[in-house]
Amino acid sequence: MLTDVECKNALCPPEKTRVRLACSGGLYLEVSPSGSKRWFWKYRKDGKEGRMALGSYPGVGPKDARKARDAAKAQKSDGQDPVKARKVEKLKATLPDGSTFKAVALEWYAKQAPQWSDGHADRSLRQLERDLFPLIGDRPIASIHAMELLAALQKVEERGALETADRVLMLARQIWDYWLPTAKVQQRNITEGLKGRLTPYRGKTFAAIVDPARFGDLLRSITGYRGGAIVRTALQLAPLLYQRPGNLREMEWVELDLDAALWTIPSAKMKRTKLEKEQGEAHTVPMPTQAVELLRSLQPLTGHGRYVFPGERSHERPISDNSVRSALYALGFGKAQTWHGFRASARTMMVDQLNLDPLAIEANLAHAVKDANGRSYNRTKYLAQRFEQIQKWANE
């Protein structure tokens, strides 16, 4: 562990950009050529490395830095992101009145965020900070008029972010729903009717070819693709397995049982809420013989590593989302067919052309579906049927 004397005497040579002195438990002191010294704690979350600033030396000595590190570790053990938690606390500290919109919004956010995925939680907080707090954050929530909120939403629209405006309105609606039961005077939710005042947003769709003849042209072009083996195999598997692009590009060899022709995607990788990721079942994907053959042919090339489709620069990371997209453009289909669009292509043609059971198809897509009796479709129980479906799809 670093001592106060060691911290005091620490220097960074002018030819280096920084020097890092390890203390313990991921804590280190970063020294710059200018003489500034800052404490950081390095940690990992969801397989990714992050770091948290813990103050500057000598204002924060080694003992206090270790205490701050331990407190952050405790937060992480409780399932919190210590960096995000500190950011929220700093925002709360700036509030002059607990009844302001910002105070209510942050209280609501603190209750909701643990149930969300990290991406959704980050995006929601960012939208509040950027689009609502600057305009109505310091206003008492009870006194905010619907026209004030509408003006904030229209500013979002003015920069062309129609989808974001729709999302921000949704956040505001939930915040007012959260606050209303505690309001001293009975009020209505001021977000009611505001959606009609915004420019209609139809949602984002992914380009997908659903014409069998045109789709056949695409498949033949994919077969003739002359790019690298890794991207070529990912491109060939995309229409065969029709899973989400993120799941396919992050496919790991440990998830595959090629003898059983099964791909088991851990719940933590699925598009679910944080609670569902933690408690949900893995998504099992049956694979046709053609997919198994493709994976076996790739195994000698990448089977020694973690990812089935490792990136060119680092085998510790999978290929980028842009890899298959660029290949589709190179084949002349970039505008007509997206990577994600293979899901819609398969879903449409398997029903319209092959007359296959849509409930089983939806289960294979990892969509939450129910049968005619309202029961959730059992993905494991119908695995044999899904094997038949996906093999027929691959053969056709």
Report the alpha-carbon distance of residue 354 to residue 340 in Å, rounded.
Answer: 21
Question: If you search the block for the tokens 């938690």, which residue do you land on?
Answer: 85
pLDDT bracket for residue 341 (50, 70, 90): very high
Q: Is residue 280 part of a domain?
A: yes
Report the alpha-carbon distance of residue 23 to residue 38 in Å, rounded.
Answer: 12
> What pLDDT is attached to residue 169?
95
- pLDDT tens, position by position, 149-207: 999 999 999 988 888 999 999 999 999 999 988 877 778 899 999 999 988 866 666 88
pLDDT bracket for residue 95 (50, 70, 90): low
Indicate if the pLDDT at residue 142 is higher than 50.
yes
Other Cβ atoms closer than 10 A to 349:
19
331 Cα distance to chain centroid: 29
Q: Domain boundary at 44, 79, 114, which?
A: 79
- pLDDT tens, position by position, 267-325: 888 877 776 777 788 899 999 999 999 999 999 999 999 999 999 888 889 999 889 99
Are 329 and 310 contained in the same domain?
yes
Which helix H or strand E contains 42, and what residues bound it?
strand 37-45
Are 58 and 91 contained in the same domain?
no
Q: Domain range spanning residue 16? A: 4-79
As for how many domains the chain has, the answer is 3
Are 158 and 222 contained in the same domain?
no
Indicate if the pLDDT at residue 21 is higher than 70.
yes
Cα dist from 216 to 226, 284, 388, whole Å? 18, 27, 21
| CATH code of the domain in which 64 resides | 3.30.160.390
Cα dist from 52 to 4, 116, 129, 281, 377, whole Å? 21, 22, 21, 33, 43
Report the alpha-carbon distance of residue 264 to residue 285 in Å, rounded.
Answer: 6
Other Cβ atoms closer than 10 A to 110:
14
Report the alpha-carbon distance of residue 254 to residue 203 in Å, rounded.
Answer: 36
**pLDDT higher at 97 or 38:** 38
Are 127 and 232 contained in the same domain?
no
Q: Is residue 218 part of a domain?
A: yes
Are 91 and 158 contained in the same domain?
yes
Report the alpha-carbon distance of residue 299 to residue 113 in Å, rounded.
Answer: 40
Q: Is residue 144 part of a domain?
A: yes
Crossing angle for the helix pair 383-395 and 289-302, to the nearest 10 degrees: 80
Which helix H or strand E contains 51, and what residues bound it?
strand 48-57
Are 175 and 274 contained in the same domain?
no
pLDDT bracket for residue 369 (50, 70, 90): low
| CATH code of the domain in which 286 resides | 1.10.443.10
Are 263 and 147 contained in the same domain?
no
Which helix H or strand E contains 41, and what residues bound it?
strand 37-45
Q: Domain boundary at 28, 45, 79, which?
A: 79
Report the alpha-carbon distance of residue 265 to residue 286 in Å, rounded.
Answer: 11
Residue 140's SS3 state is strand
> What pLDDT is attached to residue 376?
46
Q: What percent of the chain has pLDDT over 90?
A: 59
- pLDDT tens, position by position, 203-240: 666 889 999 999 999 999 999 998 899 999 999 999 99
Q: Domain boundary at 79, 98, 131, which?
A: 79
Average pLDDT value for the chain: 88
